[in-house]
A and B are shown apart, each in its own frame.
Chain A
Amino acid sequence: MSQRLLIVDDNKMLAENICEFLRDEGYDVHIATNPEDALNLPCFDGYVLDVRMPGLDGWSLRQRLVERCDCARFVLMTAFQDPSHRPAGETLNPLPKPIPFDRLLDQLQS
């Protein structure tokens, strides 16, 4: 059975682009444009989260999701690369936007 992924990005067009690519790669991909929606859906195997979103940012959303779905994989992506946008104590480096597909696959499969 293929892995279920959820892309959370308030920019619907970008989310759909990534979705299309990941479906090509054989994933079962869903989209949420509102971070709150992600919390109301059942757990996925992996999440691709935009860092900067209105309401709940990607880092906080990941924190909330980890509490519920502890074996899920997470990939964060952002256009703002400098470390001041990264919460203290966080070591994960988000992928830059536009997201390089090769590295996205690497992170989902590692």
Chain B
Amino acid sequence: MSGAPANSGQQVLIVEDNEALAENLAELLEPLHVNTRIAGTAGECERALQEVEPAVAIVDVSLPDASGLDVLRTLKTAVKDVEVVFVTGHGSLATAMDAIALGAFGYLLKPVDPEGFAQLVERALSAVSLRAERKQLARALSASETLHRTVVDSVDACVLGLRDSGAIVMANRTGRRLFGDALEGTPFSSLFEGDETIDEKLARCASGEATEGWVTQHGERLIRWSLTRVDEEPGSPDQVAVGTDITEQEALRKSAAEKEALAAVGVLTAGLAHEIRNPLNAAQLQLQLLARRSESDDVKGRVAVVRDELGRLSSLLDEFLGLARQGSRAEAHLRANDLFDAVIALEAPLCDEHGIQVASEPNDVAFFGESAGLHQALINLVKNAREALQEGGNILLRAATDGDHVVLSVLDDGPGPDTGSAFEPFHTTKAAGTGLGLSVVRKVAEAHGGGASLEAGHEGGAVATIRFPLRKG
């Protein structure tokens, strides 16, 4: 081999009381380019160990102040990986054999054969460096494994190593969290409760065909899976399955799509409503004129019917606008009294016609919310109560705070509620109803983070309630 010898720079400690022999041995090691140090006694050896860390020690079995075995122990304690070569006369061969049993690398008989000595020391040095190298490799390997394991474990997706047979051979942390700790050895298809297409997918992937992603449901979670073929390497799985949890993503996508659809409907409806409302208004005004100018009760009666029908169209328009408006909300500081006043101003004339009194309780409830939506919701509740009362009765608007919630109620003294799915769109038990009114109420309540309910009142009648968290802006 060219260049410096492999063991160059390693430390060799010679523990030998015969100074001439010690120097002789040191000289024999010169071709190895090692650093040598000589200690004449066991005590000197201990001092030397404070300063140097020998890879190999050459120890005379019979020292004046200690036995070779004692020195061996001292050396092994001080330097864990040191190799010790004994030098012994014939008389102490037995000790040298004991030393081998205790972990010495080898021994030399006096008189020392120069070539055999150099070779033995070189072998000891190689053994030490080989061991050090192996240790370093093992450390590097373990670090690399830790690195990969940490990366694979910290991925927010289920990563499973599979055999072509479908057996799971490895699962990362997310995989174990989703499907339990005892995954290794179980078949991949067992995660899908007997879905037969799974084995097909595995086979396709095994034969190198591309496998498309697929989505499965596991309890509440939606997982999108993909299978990838792994290049064959010793110890690697045949395939890797990656499952990404798309539950939240899917929910967001759905709600965004819903919002978008509502907003689109909202824009369409607002435009359409404007186009419809103008001719509707004109027609109703003309009918009012017609009724006033006509002397005939028959004509007046028919005009009233047409007006009522147009009125239904008009309220259908309002209710549909209310449902569609949920796409675009503008919030503001509101006072319940203002909302109630506007609702009563609009509803009182109609209530009057049917002998119904509508009033509100004084209150100082103020909150942050969407005025147009709440106005429409209250109108719908009053309308609902008015239609339940039919002829005569009382409607009361009440606002209160309950802890950190706002409670807006519409109470009537009618026949009691028609509950069930009253808050579903197009549910109606009334001949005149569109079924949209209460679903608008619920939508508005939900848009404020709350809910709506319709119950029997404590003293008869019905109580419709909108309840949502109080916000001050």
Contacts and interface: CB of A to CB of B under 8 A. Distances in A.
A72 to B, nearest CB: 22
A83 B371 contact: yes
A24 B292 contact: yes
A70 interface: no
A89 to B, nearest CB: 11
Nearest to B337: A83
B311 to A, nearest CB: 9
Given A21-B285, A98-B280, A83 B375 contact: yes
A101 B290 CA distance: 12
A75 to B, nearest CB: 13
B161 to A, nearest CB: 60
Contacts of B345: 93
A98 B278 CA distance: 9
Given A24-B292, A101-B292, A82 B372 contact: yes
A38 B284 CA distance: 26
Contact of B278 (A13, A83, A100): A13
Q: Which of B281, B289, B293 has the most chain A CB within a 10 Å cutoff?
A: B281
B338 interface: yes
A13 B280 CA distance: 12
Contact of A13 (B282, B292, B346): B282
B285 A98 contact: yes
Given A82-B375, A97-B281, A17 B349 contact: no
A82 B288 contact: no
Interface string A53-85: 000000000000000000000000001111110
B372 A103 contact: no
Contacts of B346: 81, 93, 96
A64 B158 CA distance: 70
A83 B342 contact: yes
A106 to B, nearest CB: 9
B339 A83 contact: yes
A40 B269 CA distance: 37
A75 B371 CA distance: 23
A36 interface: no
A101 B281 CA distance: 12
Nearest to B282: A13
Given A14-B282, A14-B285, A17-B282, A79 B277 contact: yes
Q: Which of A79, A98, A99 has the most chain B CB within a 10 Å cutoff?
A: A98
A1 B147 CA distance: 99
B281 A98 contact: yes
Interface of A: 11, 13-14, 17-18, 20-21, 24, 79-84, 86, 93, 96-103
24 contacts: A13-B278, A14-B281, A21-B288, A21-B289, A24-B289, A24-B292, A24-B293, A79-B281, A80-B372, A81-B346, A81-B375, A82-B339, A82-B376, A83-B339, A83-B341, A83-B342, A84-B334, A84-B372, A96-B346, A98-B284, A98-B285, A98-B314, A99-B285, A102-B349
